[in-house]
């Protein structure tokens, strides 16, 4: 598939904050993707929770495997629609860089701690990581990524924050859309987590096939597998069902989005930006997807065993936050230095950057006398 007129074209990028000599072998979006993969924040994703805390089992998704699955789906959809695969992949790999340890429980706890200091939002934090917090390049802070990747990372944003964010904030003030590559990544994220959470949920035993047989998207695809293969091992039945669910969602998304794009027939990426979201599911699939999502919320994300882990996570984050707010001198040097500018934000940045196991260890080091520094 060739690149369409309305895709992002690397030679027409709105550019980087700091002008650089570009690579002779890689386009700007490839280069951004490579910088993301080489970042410290990317490596930390391996030890951050998706739903299950990292030490609960080796087979569950982590933020890293989730991000790779999102990138894989995003590339496939981008290729089908004639969009720029490298841009789509870069956005997908960076979309969760700002996540705290312990998944949503961690983010909610940190947001609560930051209530009087401007709050905490993982999506905004992902942008902060690539714009500011990675600090390994000699001539700039952050990764100095192109506008298009940064635009794609910032999925949502309040009007107040948008005013402070400059170029990437403007579209929220003008109520415009991001590139199609960014729109695709949002949906790929959702397709990835709904389906891998079904898989992980079943593996953990927190949800059952019995419960899922009431959910239309699951039931229809499981019926097809049973029809084709008869009685098969449960492990194969689950995988065959989940891969069909992903396929149904991806095919519908591609068809619906293609129709919307053909109808508008945008000549450039800027016409895409001025139009409402063009990427989306058909109503029938959107309804089935929502049913699955609501099922997961009730039966998996709010399962009492997940709630217990979330409660512990919340306590760890709250106690780390108050200890560092009372005494920033307990933080490693570089974070103490940042705290001189804005203490609460420096503490939030330090905590948000922690992996699950680092946060657990740091908590022990601060609160247990048996533990060394």
CB of 333 to Mg ion, least distance (A): 32
State the burial class of residue 255 (Cβ atoms within 10 Å of its Cβ: 0-12, 13-18, 19+).
middle
Which part of the chain contacts Mg ion (CB under 5 A), choosing from 35-43, 92-100, 147-155, 259-267?
92-100
Distance, CA of 205 to CA of 195 (rounded, Å)? 15
What are phi and psi for residue 302, nearest 5 degrees?
A: -110, 20
Tell me whether residue 32 or residue 96 sits nearer to Mg ion (CB atom). 96
Q: Are 82 and 1 in contact (CB under 8 A)?
A: yes
Tell me whether residue 187 or residue 218 sits nearer to Mg ion (CB atom). 187
Q: How far from chain centre, in Å, is Cα 59? A: 19
Which part of the chain contacts Mg ion (CB under 5 A), choosing from 146-154, 188-196, 198-206, 365-373?
188-196
Tokens describing residue 5: 């007129």
Among 137, 104, 105, 138, which residue's Cα sits nearest to residue 123?
Answer: 104
Tell me whether residue 190 or residue 318 sits nearer to Mg ion (CB atom). 190
Tell me whether residue 93 or residue 285 sits nearer to Mg ion (CB atom). 93
How many Cα atoms within 13 Å fall on the side-chain side of residue 191? 33
Tell me whether residue 103 or residue 328 sits nearer to Mg ion (CB atom). 103
Strand partners, 62: 49
With tokens 């003008």, the residue in question is 174
Quick check: 189 binds Mg ion (CB under 5 A)? yes
Tell me whether residue 151 or residue 189 sits nearer to Mg ion (CB atom). 189
When CB distances to Mg ion are compared, the closest residue is 189
Which part of the chain contacts Mg ion (CB under 5 A), choosing from 13-21, 123-131, 181-189, 246-254?
181-189
Per-residue interface string for the shown chain with Mg ion, residues 138-177, x marking contact by CB under 5 A:
----------------------------------------
Q: Which one of residues 69, 96, 181, 197 is an interface residue with Mg ion (CB under 5 A)?
A: 96
Residues 6+ apart with CB under 8 A from 104: 301, 310
Residues in binding contact with Mg ion, number by CB under 5 A: 2
Quick check: 181 binds Mg ion (CB under 5 A)? no
Which residues bind to Mg ion, rule: CB under 5 A? 96, 189
């Amino acid at each position: 598939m060739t690149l369409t007129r309305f895709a992002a074209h690397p030679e027409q990028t709105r550019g980087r904050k700091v002008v650089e000599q570009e690579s002779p072998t890689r386009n700007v979006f490839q280069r951004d993707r490579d910088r993301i993969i080489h970042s410290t924040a990317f490596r930390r994703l391996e030890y951050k929770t998706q739903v299950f805390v990292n030490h609960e089992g080796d087979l569950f998704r982590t933020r890293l495997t989730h991000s790779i699955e999102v990138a894989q789906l995003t590339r496939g959809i981008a290729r089908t629609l004639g969009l720029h695969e490298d841009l789509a992949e870069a956005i997908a790999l960076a979309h969760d860089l700002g996540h705290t340890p312990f998944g949503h429980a961690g983010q909610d706890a940190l947001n609560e701690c930051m209530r009087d200091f401007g709050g905490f939002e993982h999506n905004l934090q992902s942008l902060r990581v690539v714009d500011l917090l990675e600090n390994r390049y000699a001539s700039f802070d952050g990764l100095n990524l192109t506008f298009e990747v940064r635009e794609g990372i910032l999925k949502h944003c309040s009007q107040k924050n948008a005013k402070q964010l400059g170029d990437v904030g403007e579209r929220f003030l003008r109520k415009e859309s991001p590139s199609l590559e960014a729109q695709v990544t949002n949906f790929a994220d959702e397709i990835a987590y709904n389906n891998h959470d079904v898989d992980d949920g079943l593996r953990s035993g927190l949800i059952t096939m019995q419960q899922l047989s009431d959910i239309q998207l699951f039931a229809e695809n499981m019926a097809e597998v049973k029809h084709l293969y008869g009685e098969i091992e449960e492990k194969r039945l689950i995988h065959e069902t989940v891969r069909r669910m992903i396929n149904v969602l991806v095919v519908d998304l591609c068809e619906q989005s293609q129709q919307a794009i053909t109808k508008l027939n945008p000549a450039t990426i800027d016409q895409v930006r001025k139009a409402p979201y063009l990427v989306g599911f058909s109503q029938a699939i959107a309804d089935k997807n929502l049913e699955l999502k609501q099922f997961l919320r009730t039966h998996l994300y709010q399962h009492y065993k997940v709630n217990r882990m979330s409660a512990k996570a919340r306590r760890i984050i709250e106690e780390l936050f108050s200890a560092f707010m009372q005494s920033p001198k307990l933080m490693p040097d570089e974070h103490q230095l940042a705290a001189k500018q804005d203490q609460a934000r420096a503490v939030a940045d330090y905590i948000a950057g922690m992996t699950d196991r680092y946060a657990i260890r740091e908590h022990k080091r601060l609160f247990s006398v048996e533990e060394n520094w």
